[in-house]
Structure 1
């Protein structure tokens, strides 16, 4: 698989983390790819063959050609149906809300078609992206679309944005109580704001960012010692680390390390 990332323009850097592309040939024996929560919603354009998405009830669905995936709160399995050619937008945890037309809480763990979110405008931007020949052209098209919808920059909630940045800076350490004190906002008010803007609770985002820290260590470390990874990720103990790891990946760290780490890195906030 050929995975590349591209930075957003300066004006949209506060809501977009990056653009990314993924290309790969059709495989005779396609493999499931496990996606784990990273706190970032994404807009996906399947320019090649679509992916199958496996649902919690054991059934499966073909993903739309153009969609936004809401916050992922549990492990998600997908599988290519043919050749992969994806162009995507990865938003910051609070980045999609200024563009959204529906409550993002209703988007959790869903691939929501652009036509459901933006009606005919969603169809038109999907078509324009699919016919653009170069990545700079695609980025120009999608940024023009976003800027046309981001007419009121003040819709960005500064309390949430600052809190999200603090969580990232702390690599998921600390507590919701500590955050509410530092941001001078009541805990319940902070939780309500997060539900509306991020689609996750502050506690969920703390745990997800902490897990992503551990995944980076797994990806980059020559050692697969769980004790070392748990310590460097500042978990209370190894048992706590394994519990959180299973909650968001559905696997033990050893299983995930051997079977899923490389594939998952394509579809997460690991960078």
Structure 2
């Protein structure tokens, strides 16, 4: 398994990262837990067989260019054929700005870009195809392509962007009231606009971002388990264990006993 982030040049607030994932014959059958970062993705598979994603008891087969909405919780991916994937980690508000569509339609799921956003598909499809044999130029090509599009930016998208900035700045250790005090917007309006523009409620986004911040710090610094728990405002072990199981499908003890190369790389550990 090879996972690499690509150089982002020029940088753009619309895109957080671009990457490649290669699965060779020696890796098969490949299966991995996916711990979500709370962002949307756009990616294309180059393989003979579809990728299979298992979420609970629901199995989804993915082909072509896909949009992955914000997923709340963890899932497993299974790859049965050698494949090469080029993908984009998008800022949480990017897909709305590119399409103007309510992003809650891809919450906890995937959608064919060609079927749901044909205009955007026509713009980016050649970029993915041209980059298959030379992914080093993908970032620049993708940026150039979406730069030509008319973005849906208004006061509401600016409010949601500011709310996200505050959440990230505080590593998810903040409540909705504190955010609305700083953004000067009612909680009802922020909740509605956040779900529409990002695809997930702001409460769930905060909870997930807090957990991902915790996991990322643990992998980077290997701080004491209980110190980590209290640092991220988990005041009892049962609450912490419940969140851990929800976001990793395992107990903390089970998770930390194993090695997750893909998770470690895409969380930038």
| TM tier relative to shorter chain | 0.7 to 0.9
- 1:179-218 counterparts in 2 under 5 A? 179-218=179-218
Equivalent runs, 1:91-240 vs 2, <5 Å: 91-100=90-99, 102-119=101-118, 122=121, 125-132=124-131, 133-151=133-151, 153-154=153-154, 157-222=157-222, 225-240=224-239
- Could you say what the CA RMSD is over the residues aligned between the two structures, in angstroms? 2.5
Q: Deviations over 1:118-166 (max 9, x none)?
A: 3265257335422333224322332233123234554871111011011
Uncovered stretches (5+) of structure 1, i.e. residues with no partner: none
- CA 1:199–1:61: 2 relative to 1, 3 Å: closer
Runs of 5+ consecutive residues of structure 2 not aligned to the other structure: none
Contact 1:108 1:199 in 2 (8 A): yes
Alpha-carbon contact 2:28-2:80 (below 8 Å) kept:
no
**1:71 aligned to 2:66?**
no
Decide whether the 8 Å contact of 1:114 with 1:123 is kept in 2. no
> Are the equivalent residues in 1 in contact too, given 2:172–2:207 (CA < 8 A)?
yes
User: What CA distance in whole angstroms lies between the structure 2 residues aligned with 1:222 and 1:91?
Assistant: 28
CA contact (8 A) 1:34 1:260 kept: no
SS at match of 2:73: coil
TM-score (norm 1): 0.87
Task: Tell whether the 8 Å contact from 1:43 to 1:89 is kept in structure 2 after alignment.
Answer: yes
User: Is 1:247 aligned to residue 240 of structure 2?
Assistant: no
> Given the two structures, how large is their TM-score scaled by the length of structure 2?
0.87
Contact 2:54/2:60 (CA < 8 Å) preserved in 1?
yes
Task: Find the aligned partners of 2:156 and 2:67 in 1 and give their Cα distance.
Answer: 19
How many corresponding residue pairs?
A: 267
Q: CA deviation at 1:260?
A: 5.8
Residues 184 and 230 (structure 1 numbering): CA distance in 2 closer, same or farther, change over 3 Å? same
Instruction: State how far apart, in whole Å, the 2-side matches of 1:256 and 1:196 are.
Output: 33
